[in-house]
Amino acid sequence: MTIQFKDESFRGDFTYANSPSNIPRFPFPFPEDEYMYSTNIEPHHAARAGSPFENAFDVDEHYVAEMKDRALVLADDPGRCQALPHMETAGWDFLELVMVSKARDYPDLFKLTMDGDRWHWINKPLQIDDTFTFGDSSTLPCHPMEYIGRQVQGDHAILDQRDGNLWMDAGIITAQADWSLDFDIGMNFFEWHAPVPLAHELGVFQRALKFLLTLPQGQPSRRLNWTLTVNPRLDTSPENYPKWGPDRMTVTPENIGEKVHLRVELQTFWRLPRSNAILFPIRTYLMAMNEVVTQPKWGRRLHRVMRDLRPELVDYKGLSRYHPILVEWLSQFDDGAPTSPGIFPD
Amino acid sequence: MSASDHLIPVVVSNVVEVNPIIKRFEFKHVNGDELPAFSGGAHIVVEMLDDGTKRKNPYSLMSSPFERDQYAISVRRDDTGRGGSKFMHEQVRPGMQMKISAPVNLFALDLRARKHLMIAGGIGITPFIAQMAQADKLGVPFELHYAARSVSQAAYMDSLADRFGDHVSCYCDDQGESVDLETLLSNQPLGTHVYVCGPKGMIERVVQTATSLGWPAAHVHFEHFLAPPVGEPFEVHLAKAGIDITVGAEQSLLEAVEASGTPINCMCRGGACGQCETVVVACDGEIMHNDHWLDEEQRAAKQRIMPCVSRFRGKRLELDL
């Protein structure tokens, strides 16, 4: 299958949209009609052909445009890509994992030829054709994490493991839901999660950390997380809050279907072999409310989830200003019929 | 889900008698594929099919992390143990097919270290052989202090001294030599991390000396030998499965649960990683907690057990499995 890459923007005129054929493969994050935190981690096995869970690193029609947006963010603010000095080996692990996976899963788009440590990498969609020495950063134009991070959709944090904890010691983060690598760099698992409400009391982070510390090589895991974003903007960083914060004032009952986007993160967890670090890809999918409700099951369920969402979460996810309008608007798509289990459309 | 569910089929490519009590085993992938990359300090779990009994023992990888065509482990023969090392020494021959887990590292180098100071006792040398290859390649200063009972038992001492020269200091008990920990740990540059692997007493001495000299705890790393102990047979009731099982003298509780077909998580099989932590539903007797995972309070409460290494003596043990 050849993917038609779209020419679109995530800022300014916001021309981003999903093709009709791309809508059903959206990773809708609600398996039930109500939402509460859980440590909803499952093995990142290949699942359901055509879904975003089919391949290790999903490539879709937004790939090229997302990489252009990342380049714009990095040009503006190089601090979005940082690696502490001991994270170079982990950068190479990350590069290897992405190249090997993409060349295997998308042979018509990516090609990797290895002759010992001499590697030849071809990325057709981004027109890259490079030869370098694996493990020798002087043979790349930049840090291995940045090199590959500019060629893979989603933000990527790399967590060093030591002292029974995980440490946010490297990352390339340009499409984040309101968190800052520059603020979090060097923090441990509990420190960077400190602002999350409710979950600490539920013991979610203790359990998640225990799980991650023993994550085995070759057995990646995944979970979905979600929020809402006004306009299809990838870069909703604290650094740029003045640019996107006021967007929330612009939501009206008339424009809510096109303005408000369900923002889903497909988070995966990978043990890296040489560094013993954990790679944490946070792949963001955006879908306008008008696109979500084309799937009747999703329209019904999203109404129920939003209507019953706990106030702490409405506040934490930054939805307070337009939450009532949204629930009202979604109610027209909920006829009260039961919904089938699981996230996939009927 | 557990690490040992995803085993790699290998063929024993070489068996070398290093000295009268230690043999080295080398493994290659049955298809000739590359084996997974790993980091120094990692171990694999080796599955042994010994006359109807399935045993899985963890062993540190000693081969270079940069060589993926084969893995090497060294096994010290322990005739009073559960029989795993005896099986390896007596039954395993070149050409035999076996299964191993992917590497797991619970004893990794801290890559922030300005210098790695390694202290090995006996067979505890094996993880350091891989770590030295890693530190050498990364260009980070390191020093190994390796103590053995006697010259004849000092596996790899000569070859390591040849290979790494001044980085290696050797001590043999029968020559009256020993590591002067106080002096060694008093004279390290800032940013040094110390690692110790060896007998329990040695680990305790290193940790105590470092602590009393003011070393930050985060700079002191240790790995206990990972071997489930033998003991008396005992009965266990698995509440969810609704069955009673017997744990044999030379079997671990984890192995007995697995043999019954009851699902259980696990990874290191040596009491260190915490994956197999199991809720105790009822306990009338004494749990022999042999793990390094539960704290004193949890042990005393008798509400948790680590089935990979811990055992039971008493009237009734019921687990939430």
Taking alpha carbons only, the member of A311, A340, A43, A186 closest to residue B1 is: A43
Q: What pLDDT does B226 receive?
A: 61
Q: What pLDDT does A38 receive?
A: 66
Residue A130 counted as domain residue: yes
Q: How far apart are CA B310 and CA B278, in angstroms?
A: 11
Structure tokens that stand for B126 in this block: 């094996």
What is the pLDDT of chain A when averaged over all its residues?
94
Residues B175 and B272 both lie in one domain = no
Taking alpha carbons only, the member of A13, A54, A5 closest to residue A344 is: A54
Structure tokens that stand for A204 in this block: 């979610």
CA B183 to chain centre: 28
Per CB-CB distance under 8 Å, the chain A contacts of B218 are: 162-163
What is the pLDDT of chain B when averaged over all its residues?
92
Report the 10 Å Cβ neighbour count for A79: 13
B40-69: average pLDDT: 92
Instruction: Please state the domain count of chain B.
Output: 3
Closest CA of chain B from A35, distance in Å: 26
- Band of the pLDDT at A101, cuts 50, 70, 90? very high
Cβ–Cβ under 8 Å, residues B269 and B44? no
A66-71: average pLDDT: 98
- Band of the pLDDT at A93, cuts 50, 70, 90? very high
In DSSP terms, A83 is beta-bridged to A170
Residues B209 and B297 both lie in one domain = no
B6 touches chain A (CB under 8 A): yes
Cβ–Cβ under 8 Å, residues B134 and B141? no
Tell me whether strands B311-319 and B278-288 are parallel, antiparallel or unpaired.
antiparallel
- Band of the pLDDT at A173, cuts 50, 70, 90? very high
Provide the terminal-to-terminal Cα distance of chain A, rounded to the nearest Å.
23
Last residue of a domain, one of B105, B130, B155: B105
Residue A221 counted as domain residue: yes
Who's near B55: CB < 8 A, 6+ residues apart? B47, B48, B82, B83, B84, B87, B251, B255
Residue B229 counted as domain residue: no
A163 touches chain B (CB under 8 A): yes
Per CB-CB distance under 8 Å, the chain A contacts of B267 are: 214, 216
Residues B219 and B238 both lie in one domain = no
Instruction: Please state the domain count of chain A.
Output: 1
Q: Across the interface, do B65 and A276 touch by the CB < 8 Å criterion?
A: no
pLDDT in tens, B137-178: 999 999 999 999 999 989 999 999 999 999 999 999 999 999
Cβ–Cβ under 8 Å, residues B89 and B62? no
A211-223: average pLDDT: 90
Who's near B166: CB < 8 A, 6+ residues apart? none
Closest CA of chain A from B173, distance in Å: 32
Q: What pLDDT does B108 receive?
A: 95
DSSP state, residue B2 = -
B232-257: average pLDDT: 93
Residues B270 and B239 both lie in one domain = yes
Q: Across the interface, do B267 and A216 touch by the CB < 8 Å criterion?
A: yes
Q: A163: buried, middle or exposed (CB in 10 Å: 19+, 13-18, 0-12)?
A: middle
Q: B143: buried, middle or exposed (CB in 10 Å: 19+, 13-18, 0-12)?
A: buried
Residue A13 counted as domain residue: no
Rounded to the nearest 5 degrees, what angle is found at the Cα of A324, between the Cα atoms of A321 and A330?
Answer: 125
pLDDT in tens, A24-59: 999 999 999 988 766 678 889 888 888 999 999 999
3-class DSSP state for residue B132?
helix
DSSP state, residue A188 = B
Q: Can you give the CATH number for the domain in which B65 is found?
A: 2.40.30.10
Q: What is the domain extent for residue A273?
A: 20-331
Name which residue leads in pLDDT, B24 or B296: B24
Taking alpha carbons only, the member of A65, A77, A55, A87 closest to residue A19 is: A65
Report the 10 Å Cβ neighbour count for B292: 18
Residue pointed to by tokens 């006996």:
B122
Per CB-CB distance under 8 Å, the chain B contacts of A273 are: 36-39, 103
Q: Which of A11, A223, A271, A301 is an active site residue? A: A223
B119 touches chain A (CB under 8 A): no
B27-32: average pLDDT: 97
Structure tokens that stand for B142 in this block: 């390191």
- Band of the pLDDT at B5, cuts 50, 70, 90? low
In angstroms, the Cα distances linking B308 to A46, A236, B159, B287 are: 31, 46, 35, 13
Of A181-185, B48-52, B119-123, B271-275, the least confident: B271-275
A278 touches chain B (CB under 8 A): no
Per CB-CB distance under 8 Å, the chain A contacts of B222 are: none
User: Is residue A222 annotated as a catalytic residue, yes or no?
Assistant: no
Amino acid letter at A37?
Y
pLDDT in tens, B98-130: 999 999 999 999 999 999 999 999 999 999 999
Q: Across the interface, do B108 and A213 touch by the CB < 8 Å criterion?
A: no
Work out the percent of chain B whose per-residue pLDDT is above 90.
81
Last residue of a domain, one of B182, B204, B223: B223
Residue B56 counted as domain residue: yes
Residue A132 counted as domain residue: yes
Confidence check: pLDDT of B2 > 60: no
* Helix or strand holding residue A74 (H, E): helix A63-76
Residues B207 and B124 both lie in one domain = yes
Residues B274 and B219 both lie in one domain = no
Of A198-212, A286-300, B246-260, B295-309, the least confident: A198-212
pLDDT in tens, B195-205: 999 998 999 99
Of A72-81, A201-210, A216-225, B212-221, the least confident: A201-210
What sign has the CA pseudo-torsion B192, B147, B42, A166?
negative
B62-76: average pLDDT: 96
A45 touches chain B (CB under 8 A): no
Confidence check: pLDDT of B3 > 70: no
Residue A11 counted as domain residue: no
Q: How far apart are CA A50 and CA B8, in angstroms?
A: 29
Work out the percent of chain A whose per-residue pLDDT is above 70.
99
Confidence check: pLDDT of A238 > 70: yes
Closest CA of chain B from A25, distance in Å: 27
Q: Across the interface, do B1 and A86 touch by the CB < 8 Å criterion?
A: no
Structure tokens that stand for A124 in this block: 């057709």
- Band of the pLDDT at A231, cuts 50, 70, 90? very high
A167-190: average pLDDT: 97
Residue B110 counted as domain residue: no
Q: What pLDDT does B260 receive?
A: 93
Residue B90 counted as domain residue: yes
B277-295: average pLDDT: 91
Q: What pLDDT does B225 receive?
A: 58
Residues 68 through 97 of chain A touching chain B, CB cutoff 8 Å: 84-87, 89, 93
Q: What is the domain extent for residue B178?
A: 115-223
Last residue of a domain, one of B74, B105, B136: B105
Residues 93 through 122 of chain A touching chain B, CB cutoff 8 Å: 93
Amino acid letter at B260?
S
Residue A343 counted as domain residue: no
Of A161-165, A327-331, B50-54, B206-210, the least confident: B50-54
Residue B228 counted as domain residue: no
